[in-house]
Chain A
Amino acid sequence: MASDEFSREALEHLDALYNFAMYLTRNPPEADDLVQETYLRAFRFSHRFQPGTHLRAWLFQILRNTFLTFYRLRERESALAEDGVPTWDVPMFHDAPEESSGTVEAHTDLERALQRLPEEFRTVLLLAEVEGMALEDVARVLACPVGTVKSRIFRAKERLRGLLRDYAKQ
């Protein structure tokens, strides 16, 4: 179990993690579950955290990996639907309440455009631009070189610009 100091420090990043989880899932109950699962894992494996390194990046990394794990699981389950139609209402977590299907709609073009980006593009923009994370920390979260992060940010912004232009024409 985590020490009091570790727990206190980890909880300071709760809102940032929840915001990130919301943009990943677009679903408040699923975001709740995702964040709770993230902290559960962080507390359980707190002994693996190296003091002096960035706790924030470590927590974001756990959250993203947890999301991808369950997201892939959901994708697999959807693919196995009998009628072949993806059932997007399948909750990310099996014990998620029924309200989990209440997806939060994007109200602005910027939100809609961000939502249409692939996950790896959306994530780099959220971490680097929204959370203001250093490129080295973003690289740690995504488990890739800093150069890859820069490249993804560039391409993500290009895609985002294109989408925003399309919305502006409509």
Chain B
Amino acid sequence: MSGDHSPDSDEALGTRLREELPRYTASAHLRAAIAEGAAPPRRRAAWLAPVLTAAATALVLGLVFLPLLPRLVPADPTERLLRSVVAEHTRTLMWGARHPEVIPTALPWLTQESGIGLRQVFVGDDRLGFVGAEPVYLEGHFGMALHYRDGDGHLLTYIVLPIAGLPVPDRRRVQIERGTNRWRPALMYDSGFSAWVWRQGELACFLVSDMVSEADVERFKDYFVRVRVATEPVPAN
């Protein structure tokens, strides 16, 4: 088509525009895309948003207050006592002893405060240094705590409480022999700390440390022997 057909009138030109111009149509793809865009989005269930909001709020509150919630108290008396002993050890580890005293000069005062007498006491050697002694009050019992530190900086807390017949779990007992001596204390764990637990007469004894790995257990056994052999607590009646 060319301009040899001279459009003189408006009508003729209009007709040419209507009839001669090619007409373009939308592709099926475009039609489908637009129709898809017109479809309303799938509605969420009306209850979903409030439930999700409530769940998220509860989760946040739980995370915020989790550290403030009281921990579940173990039903087993030994485990419950161990938890208090470990808490005392942790406190000493973080803040030091309240009134570190030097034995034997403070022994009469300690005995009076704790109700525990010491016929003999381990006051340190080349492996374990004596840090101090202090009276403690755990789970309704007065007792005595002795603190030691080894060459690697591990703090050990030896605690004696006047509790007769403390049940020592058999399945946790470990045979330790040194020369003619033989003991069967229980090796227990709480809050990332390990502890030897044993009975000595009418007293309950604990030796706590942060030595929990397999390699540390042997050394921890050695520390137990050193303390156990050289310390003889008795009720101070």
A pairs with B:
yes
User: Interface on A for B, CB 8 Å cutoff?
Assistant: 1-2, 7, 10-11, 14-15, 17-19, 22-23, 28, 31-32, 35-36, 39-40, 43, 107-111, 113-114, 125-126, 129-130, 132, 154, 157, 160-161, 164-168
Which A residues are in CB contact (< 8 Å) with B7?
A: 160-161, 164
Identify 9 new A-B residue pairs, CB closer than 8 A, beyond the known A14-B34, A43-B38.
A7-B35, A18-B26, A31-B24, A35-B26, A36-B37, A39-B34, A109-B1, A114-B21, A168-B6
How far apart are A127's CB and chain B's nearest CB, in angstroms? Answer: 11
Contacts A1-B40, A10-B38 given: A110-B25 contact, CB under 8 Å?
A: no
B14 touches A129 (CB 8 A): yes
Which B residues between 8 and 31 are near A, CB-CB below 8 angstroms? Answer: 10, 13-14, 16-18, 20-27, 30-31
A130 touches B17 (CB 8 A): yes
CA distance A126 to B24 in the complex (A): 13
Chain A residues touching B, majority SS: helix
Which B residues are in CB contact (< 8 Å) with A10?
A: 38
CA distance A23 to B16 in the complex (A): 16
Q: Mark B28-48, 1 if CB is under 8 A from A, else 0.
A: 001101110111110000000
CA distance A162 to B6 in the complex (A): 10
* Closest chain B residue to A22, Cβ basis: B24
Flag whether B3 is at the interface (Cβ < 8 A): yes
A19 touches B25 (CB 8 A): yes
* Closest chain B residue to A38, Cβ basis: B34
Flag whether B4 is at the interface (Cβ < 8 A): yes
* Closest chain B residue to A153, Cβ basis: B10
How far apart are B134's CB and chain A's nearest CB, in angstroms? Answer: 74
Contacts A109-B3, A164-B6 given: A14-B37 contact, CB under 8 Å?
A: no
CA distance A31 to B14 in the complex (A): 24
CA distance A55 to B35 in the complex (A): 17
- Name the interface size band of chain B: 20 to 34
B37 touches A110 (CB 8 A): no
CA distance A165 to B5 in the complex (A): 9
A35 touches B6 (CB 8 A): no
Which A residues are in CB contact (< 8 Å) with B191?
A: none
How far apart are A105's CB and chain B's nearest CB, in angstroms? Answer: 12
How far apart are A109's CB and chain B's nearest CB, in angstroms? Answer: 4
Which A residues are in CB contact (< 8 Å) with B38?
A: 1-2, 7, 10-11, 39, 43
Which A residues are in CB contact (< 8 Å) with B26?
A: 14-15, 17-18, 32, 35
Per CB-CB distance, the 10 closest pairs between chain A and chain B, nearest first, are: A168-B3, A7-B38, A18-B26, A167-B3, A22-B24, A108-B1, A164-B3, A129-B17, A109-B3, A129-B14
How far apart are B64's CB and chain A's nearest CB, in angstroms? Answer: 39
A161 touches B18 (CB 8 A): no
Flag whether B2 is at the interface (Cβ < 8 A): yes
CA distance A165 to B14 in the complex (A): 16
CA distance A121 to B221 in the complex (A): 100
Which B residues are in CB contact (< 8 Å) with A14?
A: 26, 30-31, 34
Which A residues are in CB contact (< 8 Å) with B25?
A: 15, 18-19
Which A residues are in CB contact (< 8 Å) with B30?
A: 14, 18, 32, 35-36
Which B residues are in CB contact (< 8 Å) with A18?
A: 24-26, 30
Cβ 8 A contact of B2, one of A23, A28, A168: A168
CA distance A17 to B25 in the complex (A): 9
What are 24 A-B contacts defined by CB distance under 8 Å? A1-B40, A7-B38, A11-B31, A11-B38, A14-B26, A15-B25, A15-B26, A18-B24, A23-B21, A31-B24, A35-B26, A36-B34, A43-B37, A43-B38, A109-B3, A110-B21, A111-B22, A130-B17, A130-B18, A132-B18, A154-B10, A164-B3, A164-B6, A164-B7
Which B residues are in CB contact (< 8 Å) with A110?
A: 1, 3, 16-17, 20-21
Which A residues are in CB contact (< 8 Å) with B14?
A: 129
